[in-house]
Amino acid sequence: MTVERSGIICGGTICIDVNKVIDRFPPQEHVAKIVEETPDSGGPGFNMAIDLARLGAPFPIEVVGVVGDDAYGRLALDVCRDHGVGAGRIAVLPGSRTAYTDVMIVAEGGRRTFFYQEGVNALLSPAHFDLAGSTAKIFHVGSPGVHAEMDAAQGGGNGFTEVLTRARASGHRTNMELVGVAGDRLRDLTVPCLPLLDSIIINELEATALTGFETHRDGRPDWALVEAAAAALIRMGVSTLAVVHFPEGVVAADRDGRLWRQGAAWVPPEAVKSTNGAGDALASGVMLGLHEGWPVGKGLRLGVCVAALSLGSYSTSRAIPSAEECFAYGERAGFKPTS
């Protein structure tokens, strides 16, 4: 009997981003002033779920991962509840500290620097990914490089390859996002996962780390070079769609050799508070389209619109409105050229 599948399970990195707006980024042994501080959702698994909920995704959304029995852990569970996101697969580990990231955001320009406390995420293991009874359509996971137990080598792969193998065997499509860890380490941990992925959504620097393809020319991302890196990800094993984003837009490649380009939605410089979470925001729009079976171009367009609107907050997700409002913003603002 065929199972009717609907929904996305977002697994892996759950942390709290403590967004600290500073007046400047100081050199060592100097002082900067914190002018605003806000704790909020963080981590690719967590952000994807909350962003999808804010977009009004018409399907169930769940999170799987670990938190500590502390204030940040309770905050993570509260954020899920407030957004209607299922938290029943989140394990609360007594005596452990919920992971958090101090995100230093320079007030002028919104540039970010991340200081990550791994906390309970060091204990996340394949055993925590209990997908029993799940009828979700897509299993989304991130991120290699920030989970000690998951990153450990095992049986020719790592914890992520084990979890992805199980997810596929249980009928889920699979997707992965990454975070900015050292290139060699990112490649070693992620390349074994590629043949287990239906799709991947990453930025151009991560694509370079995985494929070895340079994506910049004269110090800036180049559309044709980014396309070549996306196509290389397909050749390396991603089975359906490879999406690579960068500040000027996003490209996609599929297994039939087709390529797509979508320019970023225009955002007035004065409207930008922070780029924190913009990549996750873009990915959430693409994922909504993948789940709903939209044409690839429509999902990419939603993605850049979500990313553009996410820039209006120091938080990763709070500025994201419904998908309809995101599309309407793109129609008003227009899009950057794709060459």
**Residue 2 within any structural domain of the chain:** no
Q: Find where tokens 């955001």 sit.
A: 105
Mean pLDDT taken over the chain: 95
pLDDT in the model for residue 275: 86
pLDDT in the model for residue 110: 79
pLDDT in the model for residue 17: 93
pLDDT in the model for residue 61: 99
CB 28 within 8 A of CB 323: no
Q: In what order do the strands lie in the sheet with 15-22?
A: 34-42, 15-22, 100-106, 112-117
pLDDT in the model for residue 178: 93
Rounded (5°) CA angle 267-269-275: 75
Q: What is the mean pLDDT of residues 167-175?
A: 97
pLDDT in the model for residue 308: 98
pLDDT digit string (tens) for 295-313?
Answer: 999 999 999 999 999 999 9
Give the SS3 label for residue 259. strand
Distance (Å, whole) CA 164 – CA 174: 7
pLDDT digit string (tens) for 41-89?
Answer: 998 889 999 999 999 999 999 999 999 999 999 999 999 999 999 999 9
Given a cut of 90, whether residue 284 has pLDDT beyond it is yes
**Residue 256 within any structural domain of the chain:** yes
Query: Which one has a higher pLDDT value, 314 or 59?
Result: 59
Tokens of 312: 């209006």
Helix, strand, coil percentages, rounded to 5, for the chain: 35, 25, 35
The pLDDT confidence band at residue 96, using thresholds 50, 70 and 90, is very high
**Residue 339 within any structural domain of the chain:** no
Given a cut of 60, whether residue 1 has pLDDT beyond it is no
pLDDT digit string (tens) for 182-214?
Answer: 779 999 999 999 999 999 999 999 999 999 999
Q: Find where tokens 């609907």 sit.
A: 6
**Residue 55 within any structural domain of the chain:** yes
Strands of the chain, DSSP E: 8-12, 15-22, 34-42, 61-68, 86-93, 100-106, 112-117, 138-142, 153-154, 157-158, 173-176, 199-203, 216-217, 220-221, 241-246, 249-254, 259-263
**Residue 102 within any structural domain of the chain:** yes
Name the nearest CA neighbour of 241 among 251, 254, 232.
254
**Residue 95 within any structural domain of the chain:** yes
Tokens of 326: 């995101």
Q: What is the mean pLDDT of residues 11-33?
A: 94
Given a cut of 90, whether residue 114 has pLDDT beyond it is no
**Residue 3 within any structural domain of the chain:** no
**Total number of domains constituting the chain:** 1
Instruction: Kindly compute the dihedral angle of the four CA atoms of residues 132, 135, 140, 143, in this order, to the nearest 10 degrees.
Output: -10
pLDDT in the model for residue 194: 98
Contacts of 46 (CB under 8 A, 6+ apart): 10, 13, 14, 15, 63, 65, 76, 79
Tokens of 163: 């979890």
**Residue 23 within any structural domain of the chain:** yes
**CATH number of domain containing 211:** 3.40.1190.20
Q: What is the mean pLDDT of residues 152-169?
A: 92
Residue 308 CA, chain-centre distance (Å), reads 15
pTM, full prediction = 0.95
86: domain range? Answer: 8-333
